[in-house]
Structure 1
Amino acid sequence: MTEMKAESVAQSAAAPSPFTPIAEYAFLSNCHTGALVAPDGSIGWLCVPRFDAPSVFGTLLDRGGGFFRLGPFGLNFPAARHYEPGTNTLLTTWQAPGGWIVVRDALTMGPRRVEDTVTPHTRPPTDDDAEHVLVRTVQCIEGSVEIELVCEPVLDYGRTPGEWSLVGTDRHTADVTGAGQTLRLRSDMALGVEANTVRARHVLEGGEELFCALSWAQDLEGPEDVAAANAQLDATTRFWRSWLSRARMPDHEFRGPIRRSALAIKGLTFMPTGATVAALTTSLPETPGGQRNWDYRYTWIRDSTFTLQALHWMNLDWEADEYMQFIGDLDRNEDGSLQIMYGIDGRRDLTESTRDDLTGYAGARPVRVGNGAFDQRQNDVYGAALDSILLHTRRSQRLPRRLWPIVESQAECARKVWREPDQGIWEARGAPQNYVSSKLMCWVAMDRAAKLGRMRGDDERAADWAGIADEIKADILEHGVDSRGVLRQHYDTDALDASTLLAALFGFLPGDDERMRATVLAIAEELTDAGFVLRYRTGETDDGMSGKEGTFVICSFWLVSALSIIGERQRARDLMERLLRIASPLGLYAEEFDADTGRHLGNFPQAFSHLALIEAAARIILADRLAEIT
C-alpha cells in the first residue's frame, strides 16, 4: 500500500481552542496599567503596577498563567456585556438558573490625595489618578444566584505561584506574595485558601450586593465594604465622563466609534510620563500558531504624529502637551537621533527575551518580553518626530525652547541618512532596503523642519532644509515609482506596500496627482484580502519571518483616509462602514483582522488602529461638512 502523507495545514484563527478569541476580551484601564476580562468573568491579563510590568494574571498567554474570576457558579457565557456609556467600566449581565446578576468591573480612578509612590509621576499630577485597585461588585437584580470567586495569581509571567495568607480572623482579607510583590484581596464573602488559590462562594438574593477588590496600592489600601467599593466605582465613572466631556465629539453617525477610540487611547496612556503604549499586550500572534509575536507595551515615536493629530483634533490639548513633553525628555543616540521606540518611562534598553515555559496564545510561540527592534535603524522616525512638533506648535502657537534642539538634531539626522537603506516602517528583520515610506518620512522631516524654521525666524536654515526636502522628493519620484505610476515598496521591487498611503496622509503629493491616485487605487484593488488592506504580500517581502499574516486594521483605515483625499468619497465611506462592522463586540480593535475567519489577530487593544479610525472618521466628516456648503 502507498503511505498517504498528511498535508501541513496552516492553523486557523477560528480553530477550536481553550483560548478566548482576542476580540472577546474587555479592556479596563487606570492609565497606569490595564486588564483584559474574558466573557466568563475572568481577568486573563493584568500587569502590576504598570503596563510593562510582569503579569500577575496571564491565562491570555498560557492557560496556567493565572486568573481572577467573579461570576455565577457553573456558567461561562453571559447574557450581555457593555461599558457604562462614556467610560472604561465594564458591566456584565448574567442569567443564571435561579435569577439575574450584574457584575461591575473597573481599575479605579479617584481624587488624588497623596503622592503616588507606586508609579511616581514625572509630569504634573492631575486632580484624579489611579488608585491601584481592581474593584468588582455583583448585584442580584432578580431571584437568587450562587456566586463564585476564584483568585489564582501566578506572578512574573506565570513563573511564580502566589503564596496566600489570611489577614485577621474574619476571613475577609487575604494577602498574596510572590516574585517580590504583595497584593491584598478583600471581599465581604468569606475567603478560603486552597494551595495557591483563594476561593469563595455565596448565594446572593434579589436586591443584595457584594464586592471584592484586589489592591497593590501603597499600604495595600482598598475598599472595606460594598458601599466603599461602589463609591470608588462611581468616582471612576465620573473621571471617565469628565475627561470625555472635554473632548470634541462631532454630532455625526461616527460619534460612537470615535468616543470608544478616544477612551481606548486614553486608557493606553501612562499618566505618570504622558507616554502611550502601542497596545496592552505582548505576543498575541499576527499569524495563528506562528512566530510573529511581539511585545507592544512600549511607545513608538512613529505613533507620535498620529497621537498628536487625534488628540488635537478632539481638543484634548492637555494630553497632547503631556505626550510632547515626554518626547522632549527622551535621551537621544550619540548622533542626536531618537530611537524608534522607548519604554514608557523613557528607558532606551528594551532588550528582548523569550519565556519558553509559556505555551503562548493558542500555541503561538515564542512569548516575548522586550522588543529587539528598539535599536533598529528606521529612517521614518525623524519625520514622525518633526511632524508631531509642527502639529503641536501650530496648535499651541509657540515652539518651546526645549524642542528646538530636537528639530535641529532630527533634521540633520534625516539629511545624513535619507539616501541609506533601513528596516522600514514595518521593522522588517530581513536585509535593509531603500523603502519608499522611509524616504517619504525623511521628506516629511525636512519639510516640517523648514516650516518650523520659518516660524522661528531662521529663514536661512529653513531654506536649506526646504532644498533638501525638494531633493528627496525628486529622488522618490525618480526611483520609487513603477512603470504604472504607482509608488513602490522599495527601489528594487515593484511590490506594493500599504505604507505608501502615507504619501497622501502627509501631503507628499496632492490628491489630484495621477501618481497618488494610481497608488491608492492599486493598493485598494491589489493589496487587499476581502477588501481589507495587507501591509504587503509576505511572499514578496523579505521580512525575516515565516508564515502569512492578516490584514492590518491601521492600513485599512489609512486607505479610507487616502480614498477621501483623492476624492473617492463613496468608496471611502463604504470601507469605513465595513471596518466599523468588524469592531469587537465592545467596539475595540486588535492590530490585524483575519478576513477568512472574521477573527482579530495581534496585540489588543491596538492604539494605532484606534488613532487611524479617528483620522479616517475626521476626513469623512470634513468631506460631509464641506458638501453641506457647496
Structure 2
Amino acid sequence: MTQPIEDYALLGNLRCAALVGRNGSIDWFCPPRFDSPACFSKLLGTEEHGFWQLAPDRPVREVQRQYQSETLVLCTEFDCGDAGRVRITDFMPLDSEALIVRRAEGLAGSVSMHMQLAPRFGYGKRTPRCTEDVDGISLWDNDGQRLLLKSDLPVKVTEAEGASVQFTLRTGEVQDFILYHLPEGQPPRTAADAAHLLDACERWWHEWVSQCSYRGRWREAVIRSLITLKALTHEPSGSMVAAPTTSLPEAPGYGANWDYRFCWIRDAVWALDILIDSNYLEEVRAWVNWLQRVIERNDGTMRVLFSVDGQSAEDERELDWLPGYLDSRPVRVGNEARDQHQLDVYGQLVDLLHIARRSGAQLTQQDWHDQRRLLDKVVACWHQPDEGIWELRDARRHYVHSKVYAWVALDRSIRDAEDYGLEAPLEQWHAVRDEIHADVCRRGIDPERGAFKQSYEQAKPDASLLMIPMLGFLPIDDPRVQATIAWVERDLLRDGVVHRFQRQDSFSGTEGAFIACSYWLADNWVLSGRDEDAENLFARLLALRNDVGLLAEQYDPRHGQIGNFPQALSHLALVKTAYLLQACERVHQGGSPERHSYKPVT
C-alpha cells in the first residue's frame, strides 16, 4: 500500500535524490540527475514499479527515525520486541556518482532481515536484465545504464524479483549494501568501504553546517531546512530544484499533479535570499553564474522554470502505466508552465541581485548589464496580463502580485544605480516605477473591502498579496494592507493554516493549505506587532513537519502532507519566518537585518 507522504525521508548527493520510507523501502530514485527517469517508482505506483527494501522480515513493534545531528544521514531503528532491535543507516555520499549506501546493524537480540532490490527503469516501465560477476550484481536497462549492487552476502538474482537475500543480524553485527548507478560504458570505481564513506559524508555535512551564522531559538528547525535546501541544489550547475519528485497531488484523486524537478526562478531566488542571511555566499555566487548563462542564452527573456543545466524543461507528457499516488492521475513528467508568462520572475531576480550587492557579494559589470536587460523586459511588458505566481492554466489576468514585483524590479534597480553609481536611465525608471504603483493602487483594490484583490479582473482573496508589506510596496500599517490581511484571515485561514486562494473544481478538487502562505501570514503578524499570534502560528507550522523535520508543499487534515516533497518553498519560508521573529536579537550575521526587504521603502 502507498505510504503517507510524511513517512518518507530524503537522501541526496547534490545531483539527484531518493526517498526512503519508514518501512525501509526506497520508493523513489532518479539517477544520475534530479530530472532523470526514475528506476524506483513505487511512490507513484506499486511494487511492480520499482523499489529497494531493507527491513526486518518479521513484525515490527515500533519504528523510530532521525537524521544524525546536522547531516543528511538517516538512521531508522526497528524494534522487533523480544526478537531484538536493528538500525538501518541510509545515506548518499557527496560524490559525482549516484551512490546509495545502506548499513544494517544489530543493536540487540537476533533479528531476521530481508533485502530486495527490484528496480524498474523508465519510471517503472522496464524490467532489468540481471547478471552477476566479480564486480557484484548488475541490473541492466536496455539503454546500457545499470545499477550495481555490492554486498558480502550471497545475494539471489532472478529476472522477476531482482536481487534479494535473507539474513540474520545479531547484536553487534553489521552488513553493508552499496548501490551504484552507472551510465552506459562507465565501469565501477575501486571498491568503496561503507564505514569510510559514512565518515566522509558526516564530516562534509558538519563542515557545511558550521558555516551557518544562525544561532536563534529555532536552530534545529532552521538547520534542517537549510540542509534540505542544500540537498535540492545541483552542484555541477549551481541551480536548485523546487522538489525532487513529480506528480504528488495537490488534492489526492484529482489531476493537479505536476513535475517539480526543475529550477523555478522564484523558489530559487527566495531560497538564495535566506542562504545569504545564513552566510552561504558560495551558493549565491554559483547560482548567479548559472543565471548569467541563462540570461545570455535567452537574450534577457526569462522562463518560469529551467532544467538544472539551464536548458528548457522537457515537454510535458503523461505516464499512463503509473496509477499515481492515491490513484491521482495523470502522472506527468516535464512541465508546460515553462512556456507561461510570469511577470514576477523579473522582480524576484532583480531583488536577489539587489540583496546580494548589499550583503557583500562581488557582483560584476556583467551582472549590472544583465540586470538592465531584465529591466528592459519589465518596462516593455509590465502592463500585460500573465499567468501569475500560481501558474493557473486558464486565461491570463492582471495579477496584483505580479504587478507588485514589476514595481520591485524598478525600485531595487533605482536604489542600486543611485547607491553604487551605476549607469542607468533613472528618469525613465522613476517614471515607470511610479506608474506601476499608481496603477496597482487604483485597479488592484476591491472597493467593497478596501483590500488588495487577486487580480484586476477578479475580487478574490489571495495569500500572495501578503508579500506587499514584506516587499516595501506599502507599509504594514497602511489601511489597505491591514484590510488585505483581514481578508486572508477570514476567507483563507482554516484549521490554523492558510490556503493560497479559493478554489474547488473537478480538475483540482479541494486542495490543501499552502504551507508557505501560512508562514507569510506569520510574517505579516510580526510586522503588525502581533508577536504572540505569529509565534503561535509558527509553532503550529513546525508541528506539521514529519518526524525527520521535512515539509511537503501543502497540508490537508484528511491526508496529512500532500504535494511534492520535500518542498523548497515550504522550507525557505520556515527559515525566513524564524529570522523575522528574532530579527531584533541580531541572530544572524550573513546579511544585515537593516537591509531586509521586509522594511518599508520610503
Alignment correspondent of 1:50:
33
Distance 1:220 1:71 in 2: 26
Distance 1:326 1:301 in 2: 11
Distance 2:190 2:516 in 1: 39
**1:338 partnered with 2:298:** no
Alignment correspondent of 1:264:
228
Q: 2:199 aligns with which of 234, 238, 246?
A: 234
Return 282-291 or 500-509, whichever deviates more: 500-509
Distance 1:310 1:199 in 2: 44
Alignment correspondent of 2:511:
549
Alignment correspondent of 2:91:
106
Percent of pairs with identical residues: 35
Please say if residues 156 and 179 of structure 1, whose CA atoms lie closer than 8 Å, have aligned partners that are also in contact.
Answer: no
Q: 2:140 aligns with which of 177, 183, 205?
A: 177
TM superposition score normalised by structure 2? 0.93
Alignment correspondent of 2:122:
156
Alignment correspondent of 1:189:
153
Alignment correspondent of 1:461:
425
Q: 1:389 aligns with which of 349, 353, 372?
A: 353
Which amino acid in 2 is paired with 1:493? Q
TM-aligned CA deviation for residue 456 of structure 1: 4.5
Return 38-47 or 72-81, whichever deviates more: 72-81
Alignment correspondent of 1:5:
none
Distance 2:532 2:190 in 1: 52
Alignment correspondent of 1:603:
564
Alignment correspondent of 1:281:
245
**1:437 partnered with 2:398:** no
Alignment correspondent of 2:371:
407
TM-aligned CA deviation for residue 397 of structure 1: 5.1
The secondary structure found in structure 1 opposite 2:53 is: strand
TM-aligned CA deviation for residue 459 of structure 1: 6.0
Alignment correspondent of 1:378:
342
Q: 2:288 aligns with which of 324, 327, 347?
A: 324
Alignment correspondent of 1:246:
211
For residues 101-152 of structure 1, give each alpha carbon's deviation from its aligned partner in whole angstroms, at most 9, with x where no partner exists. 111100112xxxxxxxxxxxxxxxxxxx444210011111211111211000
Give the 3 Å change call, closer, same or farther, for CA 144–223 of structure 1 in structure 2: farther
The secondary structure found in structure 2 opposite 1:407 is: helix
Distance 1:555 1:474 in 2: 26
Give the 3 Å change call, closer, same or farther, for CA 397–68 of structure 1 in structure 2: closer
* Cα root mean square deviation, aligned: 1.8
Give the 3 Å change call, closer, same or farther, for CA 312–460 of structure 1 in structure 2: closer
Please say if residues 61 and 79 of structure 2, whose CA atoms lie closer than 8 Å, have aligned partners that are also in contact.
Answer: no
Distance 2:427 2:225 in 1: 39
Please say if residues 49 and 120 of structure 2, whose CA atoms lie closer than 8 Å, have aligned partners that are also in contact.
Answer: yes
For residues 202-251 of structure 1, give each alpha carbon's deviation from its aligned partner in whole angstroms, at most 9, with x where no partner exists. 11222111110101255223645xxx111101110111111000111213
The secondary structure found in structure 2 opposite 1:597 is: coil
**1:366 partnered with 2:364:** no
**1:447 partnered with 2:411:** yes
Which ranges of structure 1 fall in alignment gaps of 5 or more residues?
Answer: 1-17, 110-128
Alignment correspondent of 1:133:
99
Q: 1:143 aligns with which of 74, 85, 109?
A: 109
Distance 2:319 2:190 in 1: 32
Distance 1:309 1:67 in 2: 36
**1:562 partnered with 2:520:** no
Please say if residues 148 and 200 of structure 1, whose CA atoms lie closer than 8 Å, have aligned partners that are also in contact.
Answer: yes
The secondary structure found in structure 2 opposite 1:330 is: helix
Distance 1:387 1:189 in 2: 55
Alignment correspondent of 1:576:
538
TM-aligned CA deviation for residue 349 of structure 1: 4.0
Give the 3 Å change call, closer, same or farther, for CA 577–30 of structure 1 in structure 2: same
Please say if residues 173 and 191 of structure 1, whose CA atoms lie closer than 8 Å, have aligned partners that are also in contact.
Answer: no
Q: 2:11 aligns with which of 21, 28, 32?
A: 28
Alignment correspondent of 2:177:
212
Alignment correspondent of 1:351:
315
Distance 1:198 1:598 in 2: 34
For residues 45-88 of structure 1, give each alpha carbon's deviation from its aligned partner in whole angstroms, at most 9, with x where no partner exists. 00011111000111000102100011211346643111101011
Please say if residues 453 and 459 of structure 1, whose CA atoms lie closer than 8 Å, have aligned partners that are also in contact.
Answer: yes
Q: How many correspondences in the alignment?
A: 579
Please say if residues 33 and 48 of structure 1, whose CA atoms lie closer than 8 Å, have aligned partners that are also in contact.
Answer: yes
Distance 2:190 2:234 in 1: 22
Please say if residues 304 and 388 of structure 1, whose CA atoms lie closer than 8 Å, have aligned partners that are also in contact.
Answer: no
TM-aligned CA deviation for residue 618 of structure 1: 0.6
Give the 3 Å change call, closer, same or farther, for CA 474–211 of structure 1 in structure 2: same
Give the 3 Å change call, closer, same or farther, for CA 514–222 of structure 1 in structure 2: farther
Alignment correspondent of 2:597:
none
Which ranges of structure 2 fall in alignment gaps of 5 or more residues?
Answer: 588-602
Which amino acid in 1 is paired with 2:125? R
The secondary structure found in structure 1 opposite 2:131 is: strand
TM-aligned CA deviation for residue 505 of structure 1: 1.8
Alignment correspondent of 1:115:
none
